[in-house]
Amino acid sequence: MQIIITALGPDHRGLADPIIHHVTGQGANIAEIQMYDRDEANQFAMMLRIHMEADQYEDLLGAMVEIGALKGLIIRVWSPELRASQPRIAICVTHRPEPATALLRGIREGSVCADPVMLISNRDTCQNLAERFDVPWHSIGDAQGRANDKKMIALLDESNIDYIVLARYMRILPPESCWTFAGGRIINLHHGLLPSFPGLRPYHTAYSANMLIYGATCHFIVPELDAGKQIIYQSTFKVPPGAKLEEVIRIGQQENEPQCLIEGVRRVVSGEAQLHFHRVIARDQ
């Protein structure tokens, strides 16, 4: 059984040792370990990917609670195998409804096997999607659209979310959120081809470079690294010379971005694409 353990808390010595000693003492095989030390924030974070017998999972949960209390850490234990046939996902949106709409429709029609547990947003623009697809809606933004990231984490924990899908969610997740759900649990849709066109206005940047091919990128979010390297799927479209920027954006937003998100999420929830040591690997199904 594959299990991912994340630990986060105030930095001091000896935080990783009891976690590692426990899992190895139970016969677990460590497949990946990542540790982060943000000196400026006095914060420690760790992600551990292990393999151990499924019947040891419940005991592991209890042991991590004890270690967390002893060391002042928030430790989360998660396995992609618990709900492999229908993972629980949270879809995060801001203004653009097309990608989330397409994903919810794909789930309803069976092309993506997942349980859409909630819609989360820092704006109320897409609230009608919750009513349309009968999915609970959670607003985490203030009047200026600033997101309450701690509230988001609490919602995700309370609902046992497996994957977080950022469907044109136009807020940058803080490091704490990325570390909390490290190990390939956060999927982002970027409306440009990475790594060439990052930023908030990739259509405009590509257009100013006289590009005739545009695209979107579905990738994993990882802490403190260039997310452009963790690409799950990219889709492109061509435009004729002289095409207006408005037409490029229309095709991208209404046609290309939705299909890119659907295929990217499908690959992850089906287990075809996983993240290991910040590299996306393909698995035979």
pLDDT at 40: 63
**β-strand pairing of 115-121 with 137-139:** parallel
Round the average pLDDT of the chain to a whole number and report it: 94
What digits encode the pLDDT tens for the residues 71-130? 999 999 999 999 999 999 999 999 999 999 999 999 999 999 999 999 999 999 999 999
d(CA 166, CA 220): 10
pLDDT at 194: 94
DSSP letter for 89, please. E
Q: Is the pLDDT of residue 41 over 70?
A: no
Domain with CATH 3.30.70.260 in the chain: 2-78
Lowest mean pLDDT among 33-37, 68-72, 189-193: 33-37
Give the CA angle between residues 101, 107, 108 to the nearest 5°. 90
Q: How far from the centroid of its chain's Cα atoms is residue 177's Cα?
A: 10
pLDDT at 12: 83
pLDDT at 226: 47
For the chain, percent of residues with pLDDT exceeding 90: 89
Q: Could you tell me the pTM of the whole model?
A: 0.95
Are 245 and 263 contacting, i.e. CB atoms less than 8 angstroms apart? no
If pLDDT is split at 50, 70 and 90, which confidence band does 282 have? confident
Residues contacting 174, CB < 8 A, separation 6+: 149
d(CA 162, CA 117): 10
Whole-number CA gyration radius for the chain:
20
What residues are labeled active site?
190
Please check whether the domain covering 2-78 is classified as CATH 3.30.70.260.
yes
pLDDT at 83: 96
Mean pLDDT of 133-159: 97
pLDDT at 19: 97
What digits encode the pLDDT tens for the residues 181-232? 999 999 999 999 999 999 999 999 999 999 999 999 999 998 765 445 799 9
Please check whether the domain covering 88-282 is classified as CATH 3.10.105.10.
no
Question: 42, 21, 41: which is closest to 33 by C-alpha?
Answer: 21
pLDDT at 13: 85
Domain with CATH 3.40.50.170 in the chain: 88-282
d(CA 191, CA 205): 11
